Chain A
Amino acid sequence: MDFETVIGLEVHAQLTTETKIFCTCSTTFGGAPNSHACPVCLGMPGVLPVLNKKVVEYAMKMALATNCTINPQNVFARKNYFYPDLPKGYQISQYAYPIAEHGYIWIEAGDEKKKIGITRIHMEEDAGKLIHDENNPSSYVDLNRTGVPLIEIVSEPDIRSPEEAAEYLKRLHEILVYLEICDGNMEEGSFRCDANVSIRPRGRKEFGTRTELKNMNSFRNVQRALEYEVKRQQYRVENGETIVQETRLWDDAQGVTNPMRSKEEAHDYRYFPDPDLVPVVIDADWVARIQSEMPELPLNMRERFVAEYGIPAYDAGVLTSDKALALYYEEVVRRCGQPKIASNWVMGDVLKYLNEDKRSIRECPISPVALSDMIALIEKGTISGKMAKELVEDMYKTGKPPQEIISEKGMVQITDEGQLAQTITAIIEANPAQVAQYRAGKDKIFGFFVGQVMKATGGKANPQLVNDLLKKALAG
């Protein structure tokens, strides 16, 4: 049977504010257990949560970046359930009146662009962390994360394959990082994803029964978990079995999803407006102010790089995959005025060395100034492209500017015609057989002579000059 896959994703993104959403505790990751806790986030009776304004503004930025409508009034609600990572017995979230709704983002699906709808974005607080005792029936609770601000971004069920799901997540992740409202660190849980997936015979309108997948901490794992789950559902349907609506956990080591052991009764969260928190009213002026603070977004930057710098779409994609890398590249171009050459050096040598050392562009020992100076030296003919390859490696290893390395190593290109002509004469005299072949019409042997000259000069000869002089000398 031919099936169609239907996927919707829920992303939780931790916001990079200094303080928690409803209290003044620090959000810094990795403090001593329970060191970032106060009566508000500990859930003491009689305390009053007060909303962090920056959380609202960060959520507005994401709403604008994903083409959502920002609701003029939004309201916080209590989601009631008992779990030890949530000391109040409820999570403060948004329910009937979220901050933003009805948006979309563009993703690449094959060669086409595809619009994925965003159902809603809402603000909420994170829960604490539980550490389970291996030997005793106990768990240990750390409430440092309790109250750290999150936005939840819910997609429409518009995604049709695990690859599209991974692509959507990458685009969403990229937007959050470009906006500088989330650090995007998936290992530390700053960007988490749950997936709803179902299958249906192609052409049918109604959705099949869906399962919810959790516990996937990388783009790759989201894709793998969805691929597994789609196969599992197809197998069941083809064998006349039904799909049970349930939450399943991805087991990375086994490469399978397993049903989560759930409580005997279904959740009943009994949402109601939180009386401690007054409604948030957002007027047009506030939206306009946030709009004016929006940085350039990755999709726009990608298209601009192609139009403005004339580089291939592939290059633009690689260069904008990381905001810091895009800014690095632009700085190099601004200084050297050679967009395609700059792109080749950044994407080629610079990224190669960084990837080998698993470093980010922020940790790159070669500054944009140094790289653009080096490109200028090639343009001026001071060094050859071949020498530049060697030079850039030294620049990466030492962090020194190109001029310094050139003078230390005596790496200056030989452009003295007299000196080169002498070398060429010597080579022609030493290789009479090859000279005869060349003169008999075997043009291909020209490369042999170029190689000999380069060998004799330690690669320092100006290649263009070598070509000219050799041609003249060989013509006899």
Chain B
Amino acid sequence: MKLSTADVDYVAKLARLDVTDAEKEKFTAQLNDILGYIDKLNELDTTGVAPMTHAIAVTNAFREDRVVESLGTQAAVANAPDPRGEFFRVPKVIE
């Protein structure tokens, strides 16, 4: 599978990244190298092997339903670039 600069452009847009034309060329080449390397795995016959979603064998890591005190409003908004009173302020977005 070969990625084009259009694919890189699309992924960059989804990730809200600004990339220059030169970077697009560079990333296209780099991403194709990575995908080519990973593609090596396709040479393995995985017939009858169930797909895995995680690299570790742990399952069922749970927490009991008990409340622990939260940070508090002031601490919660303290690190925001634009806090306003008890809120985070953001540019208006209506979908």
Contact B54 A279 (CB under 8 A): yes
Main secondary structure, interface of B, reads loop
A140 near B87 (CB under 8 angstroms)? yes
| Cα-based distance from A131 to B89 in the complex (angstroms) | 10
Q: Is B77 an interface residue (CB 8 A)?
A: yes
Whole-angstrom distance between the alpha carbons of A83 and B95 in the complex? 9
With a CB–CB cut-off of 8 A, which chain B residues contact A132? 92, 94
Q: Return chain A residues, CB-CB under 8 Å to B88.
A: 34, 84, 140-141, 143
Bound CA–CA A384/B37 (angstroms)? 91
Contacts of B14 in A (CB 8 A): 80, 268, 270
User: Which residues of chain A are near B55, meaning CB under 8 Å?
Assistant: 275
Would you give the shortest CB distance from A306 to chain B, in whole angstroms?
37
A403, CB-defined interface residue at 8 Å? no
Q: A18-B67, A36-B70 are in contact. Are A131 and B87 (CB under 8 A)?
A: yes
In the complex formed, the residue of B with least CB distance to A87 is B88
CB-based contact A138/B67 at 8 Å: no
Cβ B61 vs Cβ A38 within 8 A: no
- State in angstroms the CA–CA spacing of A262 and B61 once bound together: 38
B67 is contacted by which of A19, A35, A80 (Cβ under 8 Å)?
A19
Bound CA span A42–B80, Å: 11
**Whole-angstrom distance from the CB of B89 to the nearest CB of chain A?**
5
CA distance A56 to B58 in the complex (A): 17
**For the complex, is A309 an interface residue (Cβ under 8 Å from B)?**
no
0/1 string, B40-68, CB within 8 A of A gives 1 = 00000000000001111011111111111
Selecting from A45-53, A156-164, A235-243, the interface stretch reads: A45-53
Q: Which of A25-33, A357-365, A441-449, A453-461 forms part of the interface with chain B? A: A25-33
Is B53 a contact partner of A263 (Cβ separation < 8 A)?
no
Question: Is A75 among interface residues, defined by CB-CB distance under 8 A?
Answer: yes
Nearest B residue (CB) for A22: B63
Checking B56, B60, B73, B93 against A280 with a beta-carbon cut-off of 8 angstroms, the contacting residue is B60
Asked if B70 and A139 make an inter-chain contact with CB atoms under 8 angstroms apart, the answer reads no
Q: Are A19 and B13 in contact (CB under 8 A)?
A: no
Q: A32-B73, A84-B93, A132-B92 are in contact. Are A24 and B67 (CB under 8 A)?
A: yes
Q: Which residue of B lies closest to A144 (CB)?
A: B70
Q: How far is the CA of A97 from the CA of B53 in the complex (A)?
A: 10
Q: Does B26 contact A (CB under 8 A)?
A: no
- Give the size of the chain A interface in residues (CB under 8 angstroms): 54
Distance, CA A247 to CA B88, complexed state (A): 28
A142 is an interface residue with CB less than 8 A from chain B: yes
Q: How far is the CB of B90 from chain A (nearest CB, A)?
A: 4
Asked if B92 and A56 sit within 8 Å, CB to CB, the answer is: no
Set of chain B residues within 8 Å of A37, measured between Cβ atoms: 70-71, 73, 76
Nearest B residue to A77 via CB reads B53
How long is the Cα–Cα vector from A83 to B66 in the complex, in angstroms? 29
Q: Is the CB of B16 within 8 A of A138?
A: no
Contact residues in A for B95 (Cβ distance below 8 Å): 83, 260-263
Does B91 count as interface, using CB distance less than 8 angstroms?
A: yes
- Is B63 a contact of A53 with CB atoms below 8 Å? yes
Q: Closest A-chain residue to B59, C-beta based?
A: A281
Known: A83-B95, A278-B56. 15 other contacts (CB 8 A): A19-B68, A24-B63, A25-B67, A25-B68, A34-B86, A34-B87, A35-B72, A37-B71, A38-B68, A75-B53, A80-B14, A139-B93, A141-B87, A261-B95, A279-B59
A-B contact pairs, 25 of them (CB 8 A): A17-B65, A18-B65, A19-B68, A26-B70, A34-B73, A34-B87, A35-B72, A35-B73, A37-B71, A38-B76, A50-B61, A52-B62, A52-B64, A82-B16, A83-B93, A130-B93, A137-B91, A137-B92, A138-B92, A140-B87, A141-B89, A143-B76, A143-B88, A260-B95, A279-B53
Q: Which residues of B contact A (CB under 8 A)?
A: 13-14, 16, 53-56, 58-68, 70-73, 76-77, 84, 86-95
Residues of A within 8 A of B (CB): 17-19, 24-26, 32-39, 42, 50-54, 56, 73, 75, 80, 82-84, 97, 130-133, 136-143, 260-263, 265, 268, 270, 273, 275, 277-281
